[in-house]
Amino acid sequence: MRWILLGPPGAGKGTQAALLTKKFNLPHIATGDLLRQAVREQTPLGLEAKSYIDKGELVPDNLVTNLVKDKLSNIDMEKGFILDGFPRNISQAESLDIFLDNNHKPIDAVIYLATEEQTIIQRLSGRRVCQSCEANFHIKNVPPKKEGICDYCGAKLIQRDDDKPQTIKNRIKIYNQKTKDLIEYYNKKNILKQVSGDLESDKVLALLQNFLKTGR
Ligand code: AMP
């Protein structure tokens, strides 16, 4: 199972990736998480990526593509993986295709979580993340047991800087300008599976498991 999760910010890619990787014991490669970790650790990549992330812009392709290739090179691609938040434009998709073709491990399916703008804004503005383990919560939909505290590790929950209203708008704009083109790109390759990202996460997961079983 070599899957890409595609969709606008707030579509539930991270949530589904976490559920699927737990269920199938697969590596979850989330470029947003990897970049935020690099920012926290102040690595050269993190220092370069920070200003792009803060504005809701895409981090330059070569940085992100090398990061993903590096991660993929260190896992057993035969067993599978889930890519979340990558690729984000055609150029990244082409680089990924070349890398995977060279390794004879093509993508099996691209799951497109089609999501209304209203849902995106509601989800992102209420999202809170654990500053330590990156677990996601939502003030209404998935509240933590104790307000402001992570259920899993007890660290403080924060609002991501790029989940604030002005940056949300820019992230949606960038998605519409650049990432949306990938729907057609993968549709042409006959590997696109569309699922509604407006549904609750357990319903989306059930649809994905059914797709895995039946191919439909
Ligand atoms: P995410 O957590 O996937 O919403 O990503 C957060 C931010 O990280 C994005 O708004 C971008 O600034 C950056 N980012 C994540 N993935 C990519 C990517 N594939 N290409 C460029 N920038 C990315």
Residue 87 CA to residue 186 CA, distance in Å, equals: 11
Which band of pLDDT confidence, cut at 50, 70 and 90, is reported for residue 213? very high
- pLDDT given for residue 88 in this prediction: 98
pLDDT, one tens digit per residue, over 52-90 is: 999 999 999 999 999 999 999 999 999 999 999 999 999
Task: Report yes or no on 39 lying in a domain.
Answer: no
CATH classification at residue 199: 3.40.50.300
Task: Report yes or no on 197 lying in a domain.
Answer: yes
Exposure of 192 in the CB half-sphere (CA atoms within 13 A): 16
Task: Report yes or no on 61 lying in a domain.
Answer: no
pLDDT, one tens digit per residue, over 107-126 is: 999 999 999 999 999 999 99
Task: Report yes or no on 54 lying in a domain.
Answer: no
Most informative mutation of 13, 31, 48, 51 for ligand 1 (most atoms within 8 A of CB): 31
Taking the CA of residue 35 as reference, the ligand 1 atom at the shortest distance is: 8
Taking the CA of residue 13 as reference, the ligand 1 atom at the shortest distance is: 3
- Structural domains of the chain, count: 1
Residue 165 CA to residue 28 CA, distance in Å, equals: 28
Per-residue exposure over 47-85, b if at least 16 CB sit within 10 Å of its own CB, e if not: eebbebbeebebbeeebbbebbbebbeeeebeebbbbbb
Task: Report yes or no on 96 lying in a domain.
Answer: yes
Task: Report yes or no on 45 lying in a domain.
Answer: no
Domain around 206: 2-27+75-214
**Quick check: 203 pLDDT over 90?**
yes
Task: Report yes or no on 195 lying in a domain.
Answer: yes
pLDDT, one tens digit per residue, over 120-175 is: 999 999 999 999 988 889 999 899 999 999 999 999 999 998 999 889 999 999 99
Residue 69 CA to residue 87 CA, distance in Å, equals: 12
Most informative mutation of 6, 35, 52, 166 for ligand 1 (most atoms within 8 A of CB): 35
- pLDDT given for residue 134 in this prediction: 86
* 127 counts as catalytic: yes
Task: Report yes or no on 174 lying in a domain.
Answer: yes
